[in-house]
Structure 1
C-alpha cells in the first residue's frame, strides 16, 4: 500500500508524481462530493485547506498533517501534536498519556486510529461479547416460554408433536456488534503491522456469530446505550467515525475506502477552550465562548442591533477582562511575521466595544520563535497583541496560557 504524507494548506498532491490517474479520479470523486470547500484543485494537482487526517483510497493512503512547522522536520512530532488535540477535545474518544502519544506518533495516522480502535474494542471484548435478549417465536418440539394457543392451532393442526411458543432468546447478533465488526472489516485490509493484524483476526473470531452485511448510516444513530452496554460507548464512537466516513467502492477495486478528517479551525478553538477551562478554577476566572452580547453598529432606521461581535473567548477574572481570538495560521515563516490587517481591525472592534477589557489577543499555534508586535489604542490603556501556544502536549499549552494570563501590561 502506497503512503503519501502532505501538509495541510502547504503541500500540493500531484498527479503523476504522487498518485496515478486512477487514484486521481477516485480522490476527486470523493472530495467533490463531501469536501469541496476544503480543497483547492489546480491543473493536475490538489491541496487540502483547513482539514487534517487521512483519506484511504483503494491503492494509496493520503496522510494530511498540520500545515504548521510545529516541529520543522518531524512528521512524528506533528502527528503527536495532532493526537494531543484530538484526545483532549475528545474528537478521538480516548485518553492518551504522554508516553502513549509518543509511541503512537511513530506510525502513520491510519495505524494510529486502528491501534486506538483495536485497543478499546479488545479491552471490552475480553470482559465478554455483549448480548441482548430478543423476543422469539417459533414452532418447537419442546414447550418453552409462553405457549401461543391461537398460533399453535393455525400452524400445528396436523403437527401435534410441535408447540408454537414465544420466549426470550439471548443473542450476540445485534446491531451494536454488527457495527463494531463492520468497522473492523473496513480497516482490516489496510493494516500492515503484524501485531495489529493478529489482534484483528482474534476479534473477528470472537465475532464469529455476528452476521455480516451493509450498515446504513442512519443505523449509526439508533444504537441505544444502557447500564449493561455503556462500556462499549467509547469504542462505538470510533467505529461510528470509521463507518460515517466510509467512501464509495472504487470502480478500480472491490475494496471500500474511507477517511478520518478533522476541521482544524474548529479543533484548535475547542482545544484552547479545554485549556482555558482547565485553568479557570486556578485563576478564578469565567470563560465565555463565542460571546455575542456586544454589537458593533446599530441600524438607525430599524433600530435593530444587527451587526454582532462574536470573539472566540471573553475571559473575566477577578481584576481583569481579556478577549482572545484563535487563529489556525502560521504566524511566522522563515523569520517573517505574517499577520493580516483585517484581523487587527477585528481586534480593534473588540477592544473598543468591551469597555472593561484591557487586552485583546490573537492566539496562534507556536511554530518559530519570534518577537511579536504589540499595539496600543491611541489615548487608552488598551492593547492588541499576538501570542502563541505550544501544541506538543496539553501541559505545555496550559503553561503557555498561564503565562499569558499572568501578563497584565
Structure 2
C-alpha cells in the first residue's frame, strides 16, 4: 500500500496520518521545514515544506510506502528555465525544455530527460577515446612500469598497460545511462514516460552503469558532443538531486529533491555575470579568500562580486530566495551585507530577493554612510522579461559604481 502526502513549498503546515517511524524519519532527515506529532490527535503528524521541492518515498519493511511530494511555487517550466540558464546561459533558448502537459516536478523532469536523450541518441551513440589501465596478456599502449614492479614482482606477464580505446563507453553516455537508471526507480514517474525511458535504457545497455556512491564522470562541452549538451545538462540535474538513505529500523528513504535556495542563487549569479559582460571586468561567484577581520579568521562568502579591470571590487550582491515578511525583508540579511561592504570597502551593497511583499528599498547605515539596497525579482515573469529585469538591475548597479569613480 502506498500513501501520498502532497505539500507546497513554504505553505502553512498541515496534519497527515503517518506511522510514527515515518514521521520520525522525516523529522530527522531535515527534508521538511517542520515534521512533528500533532498535539491534538494521535497518529497525526504536522508537516510543512521549506525550500526543498521534489519527491521522497519512505519505505517501511513489511508495511506501506509513504510518498511525499513537494510542489514548487513557481511553474515547473519556469523552474527548468532557472536550472537551464544557470548551467548554460549562452546555449539556453526559451522552450528548449519540453515538459508537455506535466504540472508536477518529477513527471515533467522525467519527460524532459527522455525527450532530450532521444534527440541526443537519434544519430547513434557518441564515441570517443577513453584511457584504460589494466592487466593484460597482450602488450598494447604503454607499460606502467611502476605498477608492473609493484604488482608483478618482475614477472613479464600479465603486463600492466595503459592505452586509449575508441569506444562508446565514455563519460557522456555513462551520465545519460545513470540519469535514466535513476529516473526508472523513482516513484511518481508516469507509466508512459517510464516506457519511453526503458527504450533509452535499451539503447545504452552496453554502457557501464554507475555504482551508487561512485563519482559522476566529468565531461566538457566540445564541438563533437554538441548534440548531447542539453541532455547532459538535464541528466546532471537528475544526478545532483538524487538522494537515497538507509535509516534505522530497516527504513529506506529514496527520492529526488531540489533546494530552491540553491537554484535561485545559481540563477541570479549566472544572470548577473552575463549582464555585466559588456562592462568588462571579472565576476566571481561564491567569492573566496574574503575575510571580515585583519587577522583573516572570520571568513565571508558573498554570492557575487564584480571586479573592475583594475582588480578592485566594485559590486557585491547576495541572492536570497525567501518568503518575504508581511511588512518587508528580514533584517539579518542587512547585517550580512553590511559585513560584505565593510570587508570590501564598498559604499553600496545589493540583496536580490525573489519577489516578496515589498518593492525595492534601500537603507543608509548611521555613521557609516553605507547604502544597502534590497531588490525583488518577479519569477512569475516570462524568461525574457525576467532577464530584462536583471539587465535593468545591473545598469542601476553600474550607475552607482560610475557615480563614485
The 5 Å alignment of 1:201-240 reads 201-203=198-200, 206=203, 216-219=211-214, 221=216, 235=231
Whether contact under 8 Å (1:322, 1:358) holds in the other structure is no
Counterpart in the other structure of 1:55: 56
Per-residue CA distance 1:90-111 (angstroms, 9 max, x = gap): 39x9976434568557421111
In structure 2, distance between residues paired with 1:257 and 1:108:
20
C-alpha deviation, 1:379, in angstroms: 5.7
C-alpha deviation, 1:116, in angstroms: 1.7
Segments of structure 2 that go 5 or more residues without pairing to the other structure are 38-44, 60-64, 133-165, 401-405
Counterpart in the other structure of 2:304: 313
Q: How many residues align?
A: 345
C-alpha deviation, 1:243, in angstroms: 6.5
Higher relative contact order (CA 8 A, sep 6+): 1
Question: Which stretch shifts more, 114-123 or 285-294?
Answer: 285-294
Is 2:34 the partner of 1:40?
yes
C-alpha deviation, 1:365, in angstroms: 0.7
Residue 363 to residue 280, structure 1, CA distance change in 2 (3 Å)? same
Residue 363 to residue 107, structure 1, CA distance change in 2 (3 Å)? same
In structure 2, distance between residues paired with 1:401 and 1:243:
29
In structure 1, distance between residues paired with 2:372 and 2:177:
54
Counterpart in the other structure of 2:356: 367
The 5 Å alignment of 1:237-276 reads 242=238, 245=242, 247=244, 258-276=254-272
The 5 Å alignment of 1:76-155 reads 77-90=74-87, 97-99=93-95, 104=100, 106-129=102-125
Is 2:276 the partner of 1:287?
no
In structure 2, distance between residues paired with 1:331 and 1:239:
33
Bigger-Rg structure (1/2): 1
Counterpart in the other structure of 1:325: 318
In structure 2, distance between residues paired with 1:390 and 1:96:
20
Per-residue CA distance 1:25-57 (angstroms, 9 max, x = gap): 45754774xx43765331123334332222245
In structure 1, distance between residues paired with 2:123 and 2:282:
42
Counterpart in the other structure of 2:340: 350
C-alpha deviation, 1:269, in angstroms: 1.9
Whether contact under 8 Å (1:173, 1:211) holds in the other structure is yes
Segments of structure 1 that go 5 or more residues without pairing to the other structure are 67-74, 136-169, 299-303
Residue 102 to residue 283, structure 1, CA distance change in 2 (3 Å)? farther
Counterpart in the other structure of 2:150: none
In structure 1, distance between residues paired with 2:330 and 2:66:
36
Whether contact under 8 Å (1:89, 1:274) holds in the other structure is yes
Counterpart in the other structure of 1:401: 390
In structure 2, distance between residues paired with 1:171 and 1:312:
40
C-alpha deviation, 1:249, in angstroms: 8.9
Is 2:371 the partner of 1:383?
yes
Residue 63 to residue 350, structure 1, CA distance change in 2 (3 Å)? same
In structure 2, distance between residues paired with 1:339 and 1:3:
34
Residue 293 to residue 377, structure 1, CA distance change in 2 (3 Å)? farther
Which residue among 321, 338, 341 is the counterpart of 2:329?
Answer: 338
